[in-house]
Structure 1
Amino acid sequence: MLRTELETLMTAEGLRLLDSLPPYTTGTNIVRSVADLRKTGHSAALVGAVMTQARLRAKAGAKFGEFAGRMLFTDAGLEQATRLNVAALHAGRFRAAGLHRVADLGCGIGADALALAALDIDVTAVERDEVTAAIAAYNLAPFPSASVEQGDAEAFDVSRVDAVYLDPARRTAGHNNTSRLTDPNDFSPSLDFAFALAERMPVGVKLGPGLDRALLPAEAEAQWVSVDGSVVETGLWFGALARPGIRRSALVITANSHDELTAGADSDDVEPGPLGEYLYEPDGSVIRARLIGDLARSLDARMVSSQIAYLTADEHRATAFATAFRVREVLPYTTAALKRELRARKIGALEIKKRGVDVDPALLRPKLALSGPESATLFITRIDGKHVAILADRV
């Protein structure tokens, strides 16, 4: 988003027009909506700005629910913004630790600052980019305990606050068509700055779920968060924000529950054993937290194969930390054999999963010529060093 676009949008006319729009839909309805708005005398620039925001608000519903309908966004800001239910958990840590003045350094569009302010925590949100800072100010306007400052996060005087939260920018500069940064040295604020700050005061840092574990400070509590089956972040917590005795955590969030597996360190894997009646696929947060061994022991399960994150057991135990499948049978692992066996079982809908093998399910699927009314899940993996195909059903 350009500054001129924001200035066009942030007028009484622009905001009224945005709020008056019907729910955003794609396709020909977009063309019709634009044409109707232009016919009523609105400028092309204003129509473009409000339609962009309407699109982003519709997309933001997945992260912000009903709150999205009164917020403003940029594409890049929405991409990195914390989901509101996760941001609420972040804010809860600060409140539980008795921290009342918090700086959100690199606040983006203000998602985490919003959650902090909603708990009546005094939050100063700092954002370097002028347009993004203005959007954050708009989003935080309903909260008297929140303020936004445009500036360099690393230049902020932290003596003004009790604690700091950082969500370093992990994409190239800009508001649209940005790309992901892979080198932590390129993050803004930098990890060195964040970790140095953590030596002085309570600090929380949000990072991507694929963070190199070699970068994890020994003194931090590292929490991997999964929402509806997707790992969305790695949270690092220092000082009073880190819970005593916990250094590894897998938090699994669904629409109906929050479940957490915690430990003081990475857990040791269990030994591999024979394939049982049930196969478990651990949640990604458990895998990244390296708590597969603890999960296996809670399920009385064993590894399917060493270094491969599938578990197997003879009895089923319900768990929030893994998806369970009942094993039907082990099939021959060649494309021709799989095609023949699946056709014989009339399987037309097949979910393909793989670990520890060089297989592309998207390329394999058309070769299987699936046909029939039945459905199943196919796991392609290794057992005893050999490739196998396990046919199973979700429990």
Structure 2
Amino acid sequence: MSISDADLVAAVLTPEGFALLESTDPDSANTEDQGIALNLALRKAGHSPEVSSGVVHQIRLRHLAKAKLGGFAERMIFTRGGLEQATRLQVAAHHADRFRAAGLRQIADLGCGLGTDAMALAALGMNVTAVELDETTAAAATINLMPFENARVEMGDATEFDLAGFDGVWLDPARRTQAGGNTQRIFDPEAFSPPLSFVERLADAGLPVGVKLGPGIPHGSVPANCEAQWVSVDGDVTEVALWFGALRRPDVRRSALVLNEDGVHELHAASDFSDSSSVGTPVSPDDISGYIYEPDGAVIRAGLVVDVAESVGGSLLDPHIAYFMAPSLVSTPYARAYRVVAVRPYHVKSLRSWVKASGIGVLDIKKRGLDVSPEELRKVLLAGTGSKKNKKKATLILTRVGDERVAIEVEPAS
């Protein structure tokens, strides 16, 4: 019988469980097979099934959490659902810096989850009260915030918490639900816990408010009185943060924050989303040349593709598709560039012939504007080509230019 997340956390928060967790090699359960072996070893050493499973579970989650939280993960307590929604440490630092820059000191973190944002706020010297409704998650957050004297955890409903004495509010609403032992995403902002309407009421009452939401929120659901900032980390769009009141920057309605190995980059606009739609006519497939640029996901979500295209002297392939071309290679943190090798009509049979004649064995396929599964198409195009050994690698961009479907052979530009 499987052990619940609550029981697994409870087991490691006993004196025996916590001591065992802290004394066990943190790299002893990096894989599922290692976890099984460690579980058996702990049981043979005389530990109960609950404690053994709880320790292994935490070590596995700590290993997975390193990608988001680095070395901090080695001393934290996790739930699986909490880790899925937890803010990456470098992003949490940007959230906290907003509050510091606005001169706010007493912060309520409503729906704190595992406490990663509260940790960042406390690290920058603000006094933080983290509120969490779920008992197990609140217990984990309490452990995670113990190093910070200026942070405390209260268990309770975020929508009923008394905000008297607080000058700023941060929220990370629950956007997942448990079903059959698995977590499922929720996409309706009014189904979040707390809902987006609650956030708006706080802002309407005059409180500076920041809220983290999933990046797929439709532009039409973004309140009119906030700044919306989409964030990507190493190419992965992780969130959109809405900033109200003193946390919103003057003359910024939408922005893209791009964090990568080269640093921190931001692009923003004062115009509303209704003003961000691209205009113009599609180019002719015969005119596609030079370099194709694939914008960062945060740039696309923020409606800033045209801004990036103009910055490199480029133009859209199609007014409704987020690819643009430019005659020369211009370095930009907001898009990845590919050199155009050849442009072909999108015909599966002719593409199979090209793959075979060119000796291609590894094929990377990107697409926008076409109802195509790159994985399935790759199987079809590579079928019968034999071993990948000594085969060429190629990249295809599949897209639409007006009514025409095209397959653009490209090479990644350095």
TM-score surpassing 0.5? yes
Aligned to 1:142: 147
Aligned to 1:379: 397
Aligned to 1:203: 209
**Residue 323 in 1 paired to residue 333 in 2?**
no
Aligned to 2:23: 20
| Within-5 A mapping of 1:128-277 | 128-172=133-177, 177-199=182-204, 200-265=206-271, 266=273, 267=276, 269=278, 271=280, 272-273=282-283, 274-277=287-290
The offset of 1:30, in angstroms, is: 2.5
**Deviating more after overlay: 61-70 vs 337-346:** 337-346
The offset of 1:159, in angstroms, is: 1.6
Aligned to 2:108: 103
Which amino acid in the other structure matches residue 379 of structure 1? I
Unaligned runs of 5+ in 1: none
Relative distance call for 1:102 and 1:27 in structure 2 (3 A) is: closer
Aligned to 1:339: 352
- Aligned partner (choices 378, 390, 394) of residue 408 of structure 2: 390
Is contact 1:270–1:293 with CA below 8 Å preserved after alignment? no
Write the deviation string for residues 227-247 of structure 1: whole angstroms up to 9, x where unpaired: 111111010001111111111
Relative distance call for 1:384 and 1:5 in structure 2 (3 A) is: closer
Q: In the aligned structure 2, how far is the partner of 1:5 from the partner of 1:58?
A: 16
Q: In the aligned structure 2, how far is the partner of 1:175 from the partner of 1:120?
A: 41
Give the alignment's TM-score, normalised by structure 1: 0.96
Is contact 2:187–2:217 with CA below 8 Å preserved after alignment? no
Which amino acid in the other structure matches residue 130 of structure 1? E
Is contact 2:5–2:80 with CA below 8 Å preserved after alignment? no
Relative distance call for 1:111 and 1:320 in structure 2 (3 A) is: same
Q: In the aligned structure 2, how far is the partner of 1:283 from the partner of 1:27?
A: 33
Aligned to 1:310: 323
Is contact 2:173–2:212 with CA below 8 Å preserved after alignment? yes
The offset of 1:86, in angstroms, is: 0.2
Q: In the aligned structure 2, how far is the partner of 1:289 from the partner of 1:329?
A: 31
The offset of 1:331, in angstroms, is: 2.1
Is contact 1:74–1:176 with CA below 8 Å preserved after alignment? no
Is contact 2:5–2:79 with CA below 8 Å preserved after alignment? no
| Within-5 A mapping of 1:14-93 | 14-22=17-25, 23=27, 24-93=29-98
Is contact 1:328–1:393 with CA below 8 Å preserved after alignment? yes
Is contact 2:190–2:196 with CA below 8 Å preserved after alignment? yes
Q: In the aligned structure 2, how far is the partner of 1:193 from the partner of 1:27?
A: 41
Unaligned runs of 5+ in 2: none
Relative distance call for 1:330 and 1:367 in structure 2 (3 A) is: same
Give the alignment's TM-score, normalised by structure 2: 0.92
Q: In the aligned structure 1, how far is the partner of 2:335 from the partner of 2:5?
A: 44
Is contact 1:270–1:303 with CA below 8 Å preserved after alignment? no
The offset of 1:5, in angstroms, is: 3.5
Relative distance call for 1:362 and 1:175 in structure 2 (3 A) is: closer
Taking only the aligned residue pairs, the percentage that are identical comes to: 50
Aligned to 2:8: 5
Which amino acid in the other structure matches residue 116 of structure 2? A
Is contact 2:131–2:154 with CA below 8 Å preserved after alignment? yes
Which amino acid in the other structure matches residue 152 of structure 1? D
Relative distance call for 1:386 and 1:134 in structure 2 (3 A) is: same
The offset of 1:268, in angstroms, is: 5.1
Write the deviation string for residues 63-118 of structure 1: whole angstroms up to 9, x where unpaired: 00000000001011001110010000000000010000000000001010010011
Write the deviation string for residues 155-206 of structure 1: whole angstroms up to 9, x where unpaired: 1111220010011111115895121112222111111110110122100010
Q: In the aligned structure 2, how far is the partner of 1:154 from the partner of 1:303?
A: 45
Aligned to 2:126: 121
Which amino acid in the other structure matches residue 390 of structure 1? I
Q: In the aligned structure 2, how far is the partner of 1:217 from the partner of 1:378?
A: 38
Is contact 1:226–1:251 with CA below 8 Å preserved after alignment? yes
What is the number of residues matched between the two proteins? 395
1:157 match: secondary structure: coil
Q: In the aligned structure 2, how far is the partner of 1:112 from the partner of 1:176?
A: 26
2:176 match: secondary structure: coil
2:177 match: secondary structure: coil
Q: In the aligned structure 1, how far is the partner of 2:299 from the partner of 2:56?
A: 40
Q: In the aligned structure 2, how far is the partner of 1:160 from the partner of 1:58?
A: 38
- Aligned partner (choices 314, 324, 333) of residue 301 of structure 1: 314
The offset of 1:385, in angstroms, is: 1.4
Relative distance call for 1:349 and 1:232 in structure 2 (3 A) is: same
Write the deviation string for residues 18-58 of structure 1: whole angstroms up to 9, x where unpaired: 12222022244323212221121111110011111111101
Is contact 2:211–2:243 with CA below 8 Å preserved after alignment? yes
Across the aligned residues of Structure 1 and Structure 2, the Cα RMSD in angstroms comes to 1.6
